[in-house]
Homo-oligomer: A and B are copies of this chain.
Amino acid sequence: MRIEIVAVGTELLLGQIADTNSAWLGEHLAAAGIGSHFHQAVGDNHQRMVLAFRTALARSDGIIVCGGLGPTHDDITRDAIAEVMNVPLERDEELVARISSMFTSRGREMPPSNLRQADVPKGATIIPQTKGTAPGLICPLGHKVIYAVPGVPYEMSDMFDRGILPDLQHRMSENEEATGVIASRVLRTWGMSESGLADVLAGHIGELDVPAGNATIAFLASGIEGIKVRVTVRADDPDAATGLLDAEETEIRRILSDAAGDVVFGVDGEAIEHAVARALAVEGLTLGLAESLTGGLASSRLVNVPGASRWFRGSVVCYASEVKFDVLGVPKGPVVSEEAATAMAEGARRVLGADVGLSITGVAGPDPQDDQPPGTVFVGVARPERATEAVGFTVPGDRERVRQYATIAALDLLRRTVGSEGSPPSARIFGR
């Protein structure tokens, strides 16, 4: 069963709001084993809506139309669906009573235009509203179907759960369609480029039985979130899907580990800051930061972790060189250097009373500093009873990208250094 989502609203085409409904619906359809091959967005225009609905019906088994069900003059989804069904709109007296009483119970007078929401294409059934005034619609067309729901996200999701999903599941069982589930898992990596990951995994991807749809692998570069490897599987039931995902995860981790070491730092929602928190927790260590070019970005990521107050002491954001000298005790001299990174890490540890000090200094650009070009980054790690280490590398991009890459590279280095009981940092995404 293939369902196409059609988002309605000129504001979507003009980019005045981003279409989050389609993403939500796509995710929840997939979780129920229902695929989408296409999404569309169309403005509040009768002819173009009719064309979009017909296009969708021609290439999918059904449509979910999102938006255009409100009471105002530009809410014309009902009319466009009626034309596609080739039926008239009929005013539903039960809906008239329900909408009227909703206004009465709130002590408000009902604007007459609100009764437009009681107009229903002949042959359609209603998904009752529980949160607003616009009802949803289930409109059969031969063996296909058009669903219509409001564009307000919480009304949309409520009607999907109550009205659309049960109806879709009923249709699938009538068709005796093997439903199954689509499930995916994301392995989050740092230390290899997107194309490097693809090359290392190329042999494995070639072995996957893609036509049977059992597993597919895709890559997504996500800035400060690292590079994601997404595995998607199709299976008869959730348990089987989990089994397939577990097997794929194990195999991918093995291949990546053989090629480049410990590059997988998390799964699904686990960001680099969670990996850092885990590594510190294992050793029972607290952390203090000294940040120059990242300006507090690394610190603001770390406090996202629930319970960060147990291990995170704080950060000295030493944007001005004098703050490095005066607060952290960095010796006067170039501040974009291994020596400065070392002194900053030790200073952070001492000043903030932390077990581990992590420092980040470098050049965000656009101008060079201390004869170093933009993108130059030095990271230092100071730990108890060990010599402080510092490494330098280069990251690409404009100011913001440099900051993002410097942050994730530094946190990844910390995760590896703490977690590996002190082996020197190895593979990194950008060589120097």
Contacts and interface: CB of A to CB of B under 8 A. Distances in A.
A205 B38 contact: no
A267 interface: no
Identical chains in the assembly: 2
A293 B314 CA distance: 10
Contacts of A294: 300
A326 interface: yes
Contacts of A281: none
Interface in A413-432: 430-432
A131 interface: yes
Nearest to A27: B15
A387 interface: no
Given A108-B431, A220-B11, A353 B323 contact: yes
A400 interface: yes
Contact of A39 (B12, B17, B309, B316): B12
A18 B27 CA distance: 11
A161 interface: no
Interface string A354-396: 0000000000100000000000000000000000000000101
B16 A220 contact: yes
Residue among A35, A52, A323 having the largest count of chain B Cβ atoms under 10 Å = A323
Contacts of A165: none
B43 A37 contact: yes
Contacts of A24: 15
Contacts of A70: 194-195, 219, 221
Interface stretch (A110-118, A120-128, A235-243, A248-256): A110-118
Contacts of A411: none
B11 A15 contact: no
Nearest to A295: B303
Interface in A94-119: 106-108, 111-114
Residue among A30, A230, A352 having the largest count of chain B Cβ atoms under 10 Å = A352
Contacts of A397: 131
A220 to B, nearest CB: 6
A115 B322 CA distance: 47
A247 interface: no
Interface string A27-54: 1101000011111111111001001100
Leading 6 A-B pairs by shortest Cβ distance: A296-B296, A15-B27, A295-B303, A296-B299, A15-B23, A15-B26
11 contacts: A13-B38, A38-B41, A38-B42, A40-B41, A73-B198, A106-B430, A295-B299, A295-B312, A303-B319, A314-B319, A323-B353
